[in-house]
Structure 1
Amino acid sequence: MEQAKNITPAQIRAARGLLGFSQETLAHAAGVSSMSVKRAEGSGKPQAAAAVMTAIRAAFEAAGVEFIPQNGGGPGVRLR
């Protein structure tokens, strides 16, 4: 698995959109606070901790999201 810090705020927002998750739903699935999700999406200060990013990524992957690395067109997400 790639390092969690390599997922971007845009990937988190896109993955939420694919799954129809609210920030609150993601927070519950990842076992983190809603404020942590906001920080991970780039709308809060300070930035989200690495442990939060790891938990968010794990929650998305458990729900079927695959993170696509930078490949010329930019990083992205898709459903498995």
Structure 2
Amino acid sequence: MINAKQCRAARAWLGWSQEDLSKASLVSKRAIASFELEKSVPHDRTLHDLKRAIEDAGIEFLMSGAIGIGLREGEK
């Protein structure tokens, strides 16, 4: 899954607000804010919904070796 830092970085790269991510993922803005501040750990389903929304917008999460984010070729 993704972590709070990846979520914040992906939003920044996309130029999305927490509200934008909320609309794209159907996850509440409050849950996103709490997650990004590392005040809570969302349920797996919530993390999946956040990850899917970000990936649908063109971000690829790198989970092997160095953990990070990147844009898929041909995006943005």
Is TM > 0.5 for Structure 1 vs Structure 2?
yes
Q: Gaps spanning 5+ residues in structure 1: where?
A: 1-5
The answer to whether structure 1 residue 78 and structure 2 residue 73 are counterparts is: no
Q: Which runs of 4+ in 1 moved over 2 A?
A: 42-45
TM-score (norm 1): 0.80
**Length, aligned pairs only:** 72
The answer to whether structure 1 residue 32 and structure 2 residue 57 are counterparts is: no
TM-score (norm 2): 0.84
Contact 1:32–1:52 (CA under 8 A) maintained in structure 2? yes
When residues 40 and 70 of structure 1 are mapped into structure 2, their CA distance, relative to the original with a 3 A threshold, is farther
2:4 matched to which residue of 1?
9
Secondary structure at the aligned position of 1:51 is classed as helix
The answer to whether structure 1 residue 58 and structure 2 residue 52 are counterparts is: yes
% identical aligned pairs: 35
Candidates 15, 22, 32, aligned match of 1:20: 15
Cα distance in 2 between the residues matched to 1:43 and 1:28: 21
Secondary structure at the aligned position of 2:69 is classed as strand
